Structure 1
Amino acid sequence: MTALKPGRRKWRLALLIASSTLGTLVLILGIFAGFLVYKADHTISKIAAPAAPATTASASPSASLPEVTASGSEAPDDSERPITFLLAGIDNREGSGGTLNTDVLMLAALNPKTHAASLLSLPRDLQVKPETISTHKANYYYAYFYNQDKESAMASTKQMYSDLLHFPIDHMVMINFDGLRKLVDALGGVTVDVDMDMRYRDDADGTDIDLKQGVQTLDGDQTLDFVRYRKSNEGTQQSSDIARNARQQQVLSQIADKLATFQGITQWYNVLDIVGDNVKTDIPENLLRDWMSDYKAMKPDQIQMLPLETHWDSPYIYANEDSLREALNTLRTEAELPPSEMADLPDVIGTYETPDEEASNESAP
């Protein structure tokens, strides 16, 4: 047998080492990718609605809702149909007292065909007047239903707002504020245009908002301050609802864009951990899997935040009736629903009318 020359022996050894290293790396990546798929399934199982019983229909109000479209008909097997949501943010941070009040509440309509979404932010202090429940602020009702029956709380909250606002809601999604903070940190921060100096302190829950006006990259804590800022006790001006809506749009758009560019499996690993620990929804597992596997197709290219004119009359915020009707009908259009007159809107939501211009002119001196 002919002995290998020294140069060829070194080359063969290097090739064997490289092949062994590459094979080990492929094996590790394969194991990790498999674990990531398992982790994604585990995350979906944690946040999705529990499977409905196979034999009998549930008596819970949510039993039929995931099976119905926004128009009220049976949901077709169509990945491009519009989807409507009630999005809620709960503050369970240390020092918040463990409240279940929904400090952020949004109605959303997503149209995969047009790659567009419209969102309406409902002020947390908006007066809400359900027929069978006492009048309270908008952020009260999820906690109310949860204390009655935590299993049906999302379904009951969703159904109540569907009925009151004449806007059929397919799904509800809840995120803990701490989850938003962690998600932004996992994404490396968000770059936004801070529209004003923001200063607010609250020693009771540890809030210490201190942001300066201008374009900057915010970490998770700062982003949470940015989207929550409403008033100041340290000399800066208070925020209007329209300004808060614009800030929320900036953050949501940044998060959606960054998730769409994720390529590294380690990035998704961190995100899945955060989502699993901080998000709850009544969306069925099979739908969540479909949406996650086709995230780029589901992600809207345009997100429209709908303005809502309001005024404060302690202890409630009241919505301009015409402004609220217009916003709700814009959501209905995005969801491919016909316009609604919503004649009983003032009976269920605290509203005020736009002053009649002719009447104002006649009464002027």
Structure 2
Amino acid sequence: MTGHDENGDEGRRRGRRSRALKAAGLTLAGALVLGTATAGWAYWHLNGNIKSVDINNALGDDRPAKAVTTPAPSGSATASPLPTEALNILVLGSDSRSGEENQALGGGDSEGARSDTAMVVHLDAGRTRARVVSIPRDTLVTRPSCPLSSGRSTAVTYGAMFNSAYSVGGAVCAVKTVESLTDVRMDHYVEIDFSGFAKLVDALGGVTVTTDEDIDDADSHLELKAGTHELDGEQALALARTRHGIGDGSDLGRIGLQQKLVKALLEQISSTDLLSDPARLYRVADAVTGSLTTDTGLDSLTELTRLGESLKGLSADQVETVTMPVVTAPSNPNRVVADEPEASELWETLR
């Protein structure tokens, strides 16, 4: 006979194909299980990275009122489960020296930490524009009484340097001092440390920044000629910390560099297709979450993702960077105070 019975060659080929399909199916099932387990572990790891402070509970009700936002009409283009109300977020850059990485980047192992970078980020309702207002760390302010974790409180201090609030009372006192200075409710708090910022820039593949003048700062160890530069994480951090190597050596020159850096980072993030590169996406997420301390309203990957998704239509061109108007302090030529009424008028626009 020319045909093949079930025990012949054709039957053996069908058996081999069946075994191969079963093996492929088991491999695919195993990969899916492994992928799901890996995704679950990644979420657990990233979520566990985030540290938080219960600022609302610590400060209670003695705070500025929340901004009132008209909700989007039902069925409108802006109606969305994502947050769309106006928000004010206090963003601090902490120069904590805790841990070997922060000590190496900070150039020392000094105890405690300071908030050398302070920005109030105002997101308009609908997330169509944002304003970033920098507060010079050398501003002399009335530092209010702040609750401490020990149950005690700090004393009211007049003519204190703005960044001393974080030193004496951490995130809670930083928020209370900003609210006392601005009469603007801080809806959220975000803090990023030295090493985390450098890791974020490296995970993004660097950042492109254009400087208007030569920089030579012995303290931050940064030397750059005027022009456009591709900076890695350590160089970007040095730029954010540069003060004495530019302008008149005051904190206002450093703020200008920091604002350039914020816009450059936004442009880098928007131009990087992270979704097509899962490995880089994970590195960016790990760098961000591993360096963050937030209020309890943002202390989960889910909440941070919702906030991030609500900002995906916001380009660097729609972000305005300004500095709180200041003048030289009468009591100290090396310090500044709020320039009134201009400063109050600026904060009023955020309310």
If the TM-score is normalised by the length of the shorter chain, which range does it land in? 0.7 to 0.9
Q: Which residue of 83, 86, 106 corresponds with 2:87?
A: 83
Cα distance change, pair 8–66 in 1 and its aligned pair in 2 (3 A): farther
Q: What's the offset of the Cα at 1:42?
A: 2.2
- TM-score (norm. length: structure 2): 0.73
Q: Distance in 2 between matches of 1:199 and 1:274?
A: 28
Q: Distance in 1 between matches of 2:64 and 2:164?
A: 27
Corresponding position of 1:31: 37
Cα distance change, pair 170–66 in 1 and its aligned pair in 2 (3 A): farther
Corresponding position of 1:41: 47
Q: Distance in 2 between matches of 1:214 and 1:9?
A: 69
**2:191, 2:292 within 8 Å by CA — same for their partners in 1?**
yes
Q: Which residue of 1, 4, 12 corresponds with 2:9?
A: 4
| Post-superposition CA distance 1:287-337 (Å, at most 9, x none) | 76234146222343321112445455533134433542343233x1xxxx3
CA RMSD of aligned residues (A): 3.6
Q: Distance in 1 between matches of 2:186 and 2:199?
A: 28
Cα distance change, pair 159–309 in 1 and its aligned pair in 2 (3 A): closer
**2:115, 2:163 within 8 Å by CA — same for their partners in 1?**
yes
User: What SS does the aligned partner of 2:119 have?
Assistant: strand
Q: Any gaps of 5 or more consecutive residues in structure 1?
A: 53-57, 146-152, 338-365
Q: Distance in 1 between matches of 2:272 and 2:125?
A: 17
User: What SS does the aligned partner of 1:216 have?
Assistant: strand
Q: Distance in 2 between matches of 1:310 and 1:25?
A: 59
Q: Distance in 2 between matches of 1:254 and 1:197?
A: 23
2:66 aligned with 1:69, yes or no?
Answer: yes
Q: Distance in 1 between matches of 2:270 and 2:209?
A: 13
Q: What's the offset of the Cα at 1:18?
A: 4.9
Q: Which residue of 191, 195, 204 corresponds with 1:187?
A: 204
Alignment of 1:198-237 (within 5 A): 198-202=215-219, 207-232=220-245
Paired letter, 2:126: K
User: What SS does the aligned partner of 1:48 have?
Assistant: strand
Corresponding position of 2:309: 296
Q: Which residue of 85, 108, 131 corresponds with 1:118?
A: 131
Cα distance change, pair 67–327 in 1 and its aligned pair in 2 (3 A): closer
Paired letter, 2:161: K
Q: What's the offset of the Cα at 1:111?
A: 2.6
- Say which is worse superposed, 170-179 or 263-272, in terms of deviation: 263-272
Cα distance change, pair 133–309 in 1 and its aligned pair in 2 (3 A): closer
Alignment of 1:317-332 (within 5 A): 317-330=336-349, 332=350
Paired letter, 2:229: Q
2:152 aligned with 1:139, yes or no?
Answer: no
Corresponding position of 2:291: 278
Cα distance change, pair 281–246 in 1 and its aligned pair in 2 (3 A): closer
Q: How many pairs were matched up?
A: 306
**2:140, 2:336 within 8 Å by CA — same for their partners in 1?**
yes
Q: Distance in 2 between matches of 1:305 and 1:155?
A: 25
2:104 aligned with 1:98, yes or no?
Answer: no
Paired letter, 1:177: F
Q: Which residue of 125, 142, 150 corresponds with 1:129?
A: 142
Corresponding position of 1:150: none
Q: Which residue of 260, 280, 289 corresponds with 1:247?
A: 260
